[in-house]
Structure 1
Amino acid sequence: MPERSMKDLQQEVDTYISQFKEGYFSPLAMLARMSEEVGELAREVNHQFGEKPKKASEEENSIELELGDILFITICFANSLGIDLTEAHDKVMKKFNTRDADRWTKIHTDSD
Structure 2
Amino acid sequence: MSFETKEIQDRVDRYISQFKEGYFSPLSLQARLTEEVGELAREVNHRYGEKPKKSSEKDKALEEELGDVLFVLTCFANSLNMDLSEAFERSMSKIETRDRDRWTRKEGEKENE
| TM exceeding 0.5 | yes
Deviation at 1:87, TM superposition (A): 0.5
Matched residue type, 1:84: D
Compute the TM-score of the two structures, normalised by the length of structure 2: 0.92
Residue correspondences, number: 111
Percent identity of equivalent pairs: 59
**Alignment-derived partner of residue 20 in structure 2:** 21
- Looking at structure 2, the residues matched to 85 and 52 of structure 1 have their Cα atoms a distance apart, in angstroms, of 34
Matched residue SS, 2:77 = helix
2:98 paired with 1:95: no
Deviation at 1:108, TM superposition (A): 2.5
Q: Which 5+ residue runs of structure 1 have no aligned equivalent? A: none
Matches within 5 A, 1:1-112: 1=1, 3-109=2-108
- Looking at structure 2, the residues matched to 4 and 35 of structure 1 have their Cα atoms a distance apart, in angstroms, of 24
Matched residue SS, 2:56 = coil
Matched residue SS, 1:52 = coil
- Looking at structure 1, the residues matched to 65 and 110 of structure 2 have their Cα atoms a distance apart, in angstroms, of 39
- Looking at structure 2, the residues matched to 111 and 35 of structure 1 have their Cα atoms a distance apart, in angstroms, of 36
- Looking at structure 2, the residues matched to 97 and 37 of structure 1 have their Cα atoms a distance apart, in angstroms, of 28
Q: Given the superposition, is the C-alpha separation of residues 64 and 111 from structure 1 closer, same or farther in structure 2, using an over 3 Å criterion?
A: closer
Matched residue type, 1:6: T
- Looking at structure 1, the residues matched to 94 and 102 of structure 2 have their Cα atoms a distance apart, in angstroms, of 12
Matched residue type, 1:31: Q
Deviation at 1:109, TM superposition (A): 1.8
Deviation at 1:89, TM superposition (A): 0.6
- Looking at structure 1, the residues matched to 55 and 93 of structure 2 have their Cα atoms a distance apart, in angstroms, of 46
Matched residue SS, 2:102 = coil
- Looking at structure 2, the residues matched to 64 and 110 of structure 1 have their Cα atoms a distance apart, in angstroms, of 30
Q: Which 5+ residue runs of structure 2 have no aligned equivalent? A: none
Compute the TM-score of the two structures, normalised by the length of structure 1: 0.93
Deviation at 1:60, TM superposition (A): 1.7
